[in-house]
Structure 1
């Protein structure tokens, strides 16, 4: 699974201000649906929020992986933000989150959804990548760090 193929520079934002989990999910919903109207953005936000009610997608170590499904899509897509300040996200390690990678997949794509989530979990266990993401100064740096990541680069 090529994670870079899910992401675009337009859906990568560095230094985002969000004071709460809700605001971060709203911003991610907007990025995920840049090419759609307010109704689609609201539907994605509701899907991400509903998923969070089932259990936090905070992976730990400052990373959140909100994800949902959409009947509007025929291909998976992703968005990434690095927050200017960490926020409470109910992560498993109880640490605040400053890196959020959102995944949106087509409604009936169960197997692919699980494969992508597994790959993302592997990616965000890479301490070197997370450090690189936190050091990014611009949207293009953030996008290029994710696009350039390969599992063989991962920290042991």
Structure 2
């Protein structure tokens, strides 16, 4: 089954009924199921049911996705991408055409509160292939993934980060359940908050009875951590307790869409007053 996803932000007008009716009409042209997911509120409804979408409580600034599945998914994706770009703020994904009503995922843009953080943050993503991961034992696979994450977080000094990460894992496994692991470290050697996400080609064990993982998200924070850092990463950790949010992280495969999911969740504590960020 072919699946495509369109990631976008709801604008100041919200979603008036005429936009929902137009979405319903367009979705009905194709042999595909189109579902609208509100990422901010972790709820969803079929695009052919405008009343159900209205019940999602979508608000300006909410991050959403259209999930398209079916034999006509490719054609529906092209048509609906144009519709979304005209009516909402399209989140750019790699390889897609440029659009004047599209935005890149940027934590420094104060005008885009959906992705705004009051501090600099580096986010990198990487897909591991079956060949790269190989047929190694679970323990070796975990060590290899952590080493790769540390190189993504700090290419200049990954060995220190790996040592800190291994020490943290010896205390207790950082598996969060629902297919997600969250190795995290804090050190005075870290100068800038950073996140790295690796998508695995198959599930590996992470030393926990919460099950194997297919997504590993590493966080590195300076020590002592500033209050905005703590608030952002605490909110993100809490979000990982929701199976619906973890499902979004494991089902999305495009790098920019994953960055949007991460950054949007991290920015939620600051969206109310992003013009006066905390010191």
Quick check: 16-25 or 111-120, which moved more?
Answer: 111-120
After superposition, the Cα gap between the structure-2 partners of 1:109 and 1:82, relative to the gap in structure 1 and judged at 3 Å, is same
- Given candidates 150, 169, 172, the residue that maps to 1:55 is 172
Quick one: distance in 2 between partners of 1:73 and 1:13? 21
Q: Is the alpha carbon distance of 1:62 and 1:5 closer, same or farther for their aligned partners in structure 2, counting shifts above 3 Å? A: farther
* SS of equivalent residue, structure 2 residue 207: coil
**Offset of 1:55 from its aligned partner?**
0.9
Residue number in structure 1 paired with 2:144: 23
Quick check: 2:185–2:221 contact (8 Å CA) kept in 1?
Answer: yes
Asked if structure 1 preserves the Cα contact closer than 8 Å seen for 2:191 and 2:222, the reply is yes
Verify the 8 A CA contact 1:66 1:102 in the aligned structure 2.
yes
Q: Which entry has the higher C-alpha Rg, 1 or 2? A: 2
Residue 264 of structure 2 corresponds to which residue in structure 1? 148
Please list the CA deviations of residues 85-138 of structure 1 after superposition, one character each: whole Å capped at 9, or x if unmatched.
111102352x00111111111132286665444222212123333222222233
- TM-score (ref. length: structure 2): 0.45
Q: What's the offset of the Cα at 1:29?
A: 0.3
Q: 1:111 to 1:105 in 2, by over 3 A?
A: same
Structure 1 residues 108-147: aligned runs within 5 Å: 108-109=224-225, 115-147=231-263
Q: Secondary structure at the match of 1:72?
A: coil
Which residue is equivalent to 2:159?
42
CA contact (8 A) 1:13 1:142 kept: no
Tell me the C-alpha RMSD between the 2 structures.
2.9
Aligned mates of 1:60, 1:112 — CA distance in 2:
26
Partner SS for 1:121: helix
Indicate the residue corresponding to 2:5 in structure 1.
none
Which structure has more relative contact order (CA 8 Å, sep 6+)? It is 1
| Structure 2: gaps spanning 5 or more residues | 1-115, 270-279
Cα contact 1:14–1:138 (8 A) shared by 2: no
Note the 1:70-89 alignment, pairs <5 A.
70-89=187-206
Structure with greater helix percent: 1
Change (3 A) 1:75 1:110: same
Q: For residue 48 of structure 1, give the secondary structure of its aligned residue in structure 2.
A: helix
**Matched residue, 2:48:** none
Tell me the residue number matched to 2:126.
13
